[in-house]
C-alpha cells in the first residue's frame, strides 16, 4: 500500500510518519511537505534512510504539482495533516490559512478523485482536524462528534471549511473518507510558538513567560505520540464516512498548566521551587479567544479500543526532558524568522 502523508515534517506529522514507517515496513510512506517555518526534516533524521520512506518537497496549494505526484505515484491512501496551524498567525494573515487549509485540501481531494476514478474499494482519504472547529464551551459540557460547528478564529474557520469539503466529497462523489478532531497536542518537536514549548524555552532562559489574559482559558491536552496511535487506530479500524473525536480527558486552565510546568522545570534544572513561577507575565488576551475546550473521546475509546498511554504529568516530564536534551533543535528553530515573529507578537 502506498500512503501519502501530508505535513509529515511538522509536529504531529513527524510522529505519524515515524509510527507508520517503523510499524508497517510493508507500506510505502510518502511524506509531502512544503517545509514552511513549521516543517523541519530534523524531526525525521532517524528514519530518513528507511527503504519504505520517501520525502517529496512541495506545496499542496500548487494544483498542477499535486495532480502530477498523484499521477506518478498512484497513492492508495492519504493521511492529510499539512496545514497552517497557529491561531495567532491566522489573526495576522488569514489568507495563508484559506490557501493552504481550504484550497490545499480541495486540491488533494480533486487529485484523489481523478486518480481513483470511482474505483474506491481499497482507498481512503483521512483528514486530520482539530476540536477548535466546535467553538467554545462554558464551564460544563464536552464536544461530541455531533456538536455543531461554530469556529471563531480564522484558523478554526479554515479547518472547519476543509472538514466540510472532505465530507462533501464523500457525500457527493463517494470518496471514502474519515475525519478526526483532536484536542491540543504537546510533546517533542513542537514548534516554540505554541504555549508549552514556548514556556519551556523561556523558563530555561529565564525570560518572561507570556500568558494570555488571566490564564483562565481551559484546554484538553494530549501527548503527541498518543495522537499518532489514535490516527493509526482510525486509519485501520475506523468506519468509512465517520468522525472520531480524540482527546486526553485532561483539562487544564492555562495558568495551572504553566505553574505545573514551572515547578517541573525548577526540579529538572535544580532551581529553588518557585523560581520559574516569577517569570509568569500576563499579556493582552488573544482576540476572539475561546474560553474552554473539552472533548468526549468515548467513541474512539469504546469502538476502536484506543486510549492515551501516559498521564499528563508523565507526558509533560518526557517533553521537558526532550527539550533539555535537544538544545540544537531548539536553537535551529528559534533563529531567523522566529525572532521577528516573537518580537511582533509579544513585545508590541
Ligand atoms: P505544524 O504547523 O507543526 O505542521 C504543519 C506541517 O505542514 C509543516 O511541516 C508544514 O511545512 C506543512 N505545510 C504547511 N503548509 C503547507 C503546504 N501549503 N503544502 C505542504 N505542506 C505544508 O502543525 P501540527 O501541529 O503538526 O498540526 C498538523 C495537523 O493536525 C494540522 O492539520 C492541524 O490542524 C491538526 N491538529 C493540530 C493540533 C495541535 O495541537 N497541534 C491539534 C489537533 C489537530
Number of domains present in the structure of the chain: 2
What CATH code is carried by the domain that includes residue 60?
3.40.50.720
- Residue 293 within a domain: no
131 is annotated as an active-site residue: yes
Answer yes or no: do 135 and 207 share one domain. no
Residue 341 pLDDT grade (very low, low, confident, very high; cuts 50, 70, 90): confident
The catalytic position among 33, 59, 84, 132 is 132
Q: Closest ligand 1 atom, CA of 155?
A: 34
The rounded Å distance from CA 217 to ligand 1 centre is 23
Q: Is the pLDDT of residue 348 over 70?
A: no
Answer yes or no: do 177 and 201 share one domain. no
- Residue 236 within a domain: yes
- Residue 73 within a domain: yes
Answer yes or no: do 158 and 62 share one domain. yes
Q: Is the pLDDT of residue 334 over 90?
A: no
Q: Is the pLDDT of residue 44 over 90?
A: yes
Question: Which residue's CA is minimally distant from atom 10 of ligand 1?
Answer: 39
Asked if residue 33 has its Cβ within 6 Å of ligand 1, the reply is yes
Q: Closest ligand 1 atom, CA of 159?
A: 34
Cell of 161: 471549511
The rounded Å distance from CA 85 to ligand 1 centre is 5
Asked if residue 61 has its Cβ within 6 Å of ligand 1, the reply is yes
Count helices and strands in the chain by DSSP H and E runs:
13, 12
Report whether 22 contacts 47 (CB < 8 A).
Answer: yes
What CATH code is carried by the domain that includes residue 328?
3.90.25.10
Answer yes or no: do 182 and 199 share one domain. no
Answer yes or no: do 233 and 270 share one domain. no
- Residue 238 within a domain: yes
Asked if residue 300 has its Cβ within 6 Å of ligand 1, the reply is no
Asked if residue 179 has its Cβ within 6 Å of ligand 1, the reply is no
Q: What are the C-alpha distances in Å from 174 to residues 76, 109, 241?
A: 15, 11, 9
Asked if residue 191 has its Cβ within 6 Å of ligand 1, the reply is yes
Answer yes or no: do 88 and 106 share one domain. yes
DSSP string for residues in 71-128:
HHH--SEEEE------HHHHHH-HHHHIIIIIIIHHHHHHHHHHHHTT--TT-EEEEE
Burial of 27: CB neighbours in 10 Å, binned 0-12, 13-18, 19+: middle
Q: Is the pLDDT of residue 323 over 70?
A: yes
Q: Is the pLDDT of residue 347 over 90?
A: no
- Residue 255 within a domain: yes
Strand order in the sheet with 251-253: 184-186, 218-223, 251-253
Q: Is the pLDDT of residue 126 over 60?
A: yes
Q: For 103-119, how does the pLDDT look when each residue is reduced to its tens digit (9 = 90+)?
A: 999 999 999 999 998 78
- Residue 302 within a domain: no
Query: What percent of the chain lies above the pLDDT cut of 90?
Result: 91
Taking the C-alpha atoms of residue 284 and residue 282, their distance in angstroms, rounded to an integer, is: 7
Question: Which residue's CA is minimally distant from atom 13 of ligand 1?
Answer: 82
Question: Which residue's CA is minimally distant from atom 19 of ligand 1?
Answer: 59
The rounded Å distance from CA 206 to ligand 1 centre is 29
The catalytic position among 155, 169, 244, 293 is 155
Report whether 91 contacts 151 (CB < 8 A).
Answer: no
Answer yes or no: do 203 and 147 share one domain. no
- The ipTM value here is 0.99
Q: What is the CA radius of gyration of the chain?
A: 20
Q: For 61-114, how does the pLDDT look when each residue is reduced to its tens digit (9 = 90+)?
A: 999 999 999 999 999 999 999 999 999 999 999 999 999 999 999 999 999 999
The best mutation among 81, 154, 315 to test binding of ligand 1, ranked by most ligand atoms within 8 Å of the C-beta, falls on 81
Residue 233 pLDDT grade (very low, low, confident, very high; cuts 50, 70, 90): very high
Q: Is the pLDDT of residue 342 over 80?
A: no
Q: Give the domain extent around 205.
A: 195-218+251-287+311-339
Answer yes or no: do 207 and 169 share one domain. no
Confidence at residue 346, expressed as pLDDT on a 0 to 100 scale = 75
Answer yes or no: do 94 and 209 share one domain. no
Report whether 251 contacts 185 (CB < 8 A).
Answer: no
Answer yes or no: do 65 and 212 share one domain. no
Q: Is the pLDDT of residue 149 over 80?
A: yes
- Residue 298 within a domain: no
| Phi, psi values for residue 296, rounded to 5° | -90, 110
Q: For 247-293, how does the pLDDT look when each residue is reduced to its tens digit (9 = 90+)?
A: 999 999 999 999 999 999 999 999 999 999 999 999 998 888 889 99
Asked if residue 90 has its Cβ within 6 Å of ligand 1, the reply is no
- Residue 305 within a domain: no
Residue 340 pLDDT grade (very low, low, confident, very high; cuts 50, 70, 90): confident
User: Considering the chain, what is the average pLDDT of its residues?
Assistant: 95
Question: Which residue's CA is minimally distant from atom 28 of ligand 1?
Answer: 81
Query: Nearest 5°: CA angle at 247, between 141 and 163?
Result: 90
Answer yes or no: do 263 and 212 share one domain. yes
Q: For 167-209, how does the pLDDT look when each residue is reduced to its tens digit (9 = 90+)?
A: 999 999 999 999 999 999 999 999 998 999 999 999 999 999 9
Cell of 68: 502530477
Answer yes or no: do 130 and 201 share one domain. no
Amino acid at each position: 500500500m502506498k500512503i501519502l502523508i501530508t505535513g509529515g515534517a511538522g509536529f504531529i506529522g513527524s510522529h505519524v510518519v515515524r509510527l507508520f514507517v517503523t510499524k508497517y515496513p510493508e507500506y510505502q510512506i510518502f511524506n509531502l511537505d512544503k517545509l514552511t517555518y513549521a516543517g523541519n526534516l530534523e524531526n525525521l533524521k532517524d528514519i530518513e534512510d528507511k527503504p519504505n520512506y520517501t520525502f517529496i518537497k512541495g506545496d499542496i496549494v500548487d494544483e498542477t504539482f499535486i495532480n502530477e505526484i498523484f499521477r506518478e505515484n498512484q497513492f492508495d491512501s492519504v493521511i492529510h495533516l499539512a496545514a497552517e496551524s497557529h491561531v495567532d498567525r491566522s489573526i495576522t494573515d488569514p489568507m495563508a490559512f484559506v490557501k493552504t487549509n481550504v484550497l490545499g485540501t480541495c486540491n488533494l481531494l480533486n487529485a484523489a478523485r481523478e486518480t481513483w476514478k470511482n474505483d474506491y474499494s481499497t482507498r481512503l482519504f483521512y483528514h486530520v482536524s482539530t476540536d477548535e472547529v466546535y467553538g467554545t464551551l462554558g464551564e460544563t459540557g464536552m464536544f461530541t462528534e455531533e456538536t455543531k460547528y461554530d469556529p471563531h478564529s480564522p484558523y478554526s474557520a479554515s479547518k472547519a471549511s476543509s472538514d466540510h469539503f472532505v465530507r462533501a466529497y464523500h457525500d457527493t462523489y463517494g470518496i471514502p473518507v474519515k475525519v478526526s478532531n483532536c484536542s491540543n497536542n504537546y510533546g517533542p518537536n513542537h514548534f516554540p510558538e505554541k504555549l508549552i514549548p514556548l514556556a519551556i524555552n523561556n523558563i530555561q532562559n529565564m525570560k518572561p513567560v507570556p500568558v494570555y489574559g488571566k490564564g483562565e482559558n481551559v484546554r484538553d491536552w494530549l501527548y503527541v505520540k498518543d495522537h499518532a496511535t489514535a490516527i493509526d487506530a482510525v486509519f485501520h479500524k475506523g468506519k468509512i464516512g465517520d468522525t472520531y473525536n480524540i482527546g486526553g480527558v485532561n483539562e487544564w486552565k492555562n495558568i495551572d498548566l504553566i505553574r505545573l510546568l514551572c515547578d517541573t522545570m525548577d526540579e529538572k534544572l535544580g532551581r529553588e521551587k518557585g523560581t520559574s513561577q516569577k517569570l509568569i507575565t500576563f499579556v493582552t488576551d488573544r482576540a476572539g479567544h475561546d474560553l474552554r475546550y473539552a472533548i468526549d473521546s468515548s467513541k474512539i475509546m469504546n469502538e476502536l479500543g484506543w486510549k492515551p498511554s501516559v498521564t499528563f504529568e508523565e507526558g509533560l516530564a518526557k517533553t521537558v526532558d526532550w527539550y533539555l536534551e535537544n538544545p540544537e533543535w531548539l536553537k535551529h528553530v528559534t533563529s531567523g524568522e522566529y525572532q521577528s515573529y516573537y518580537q511582533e507578537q509579544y513585545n508590541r
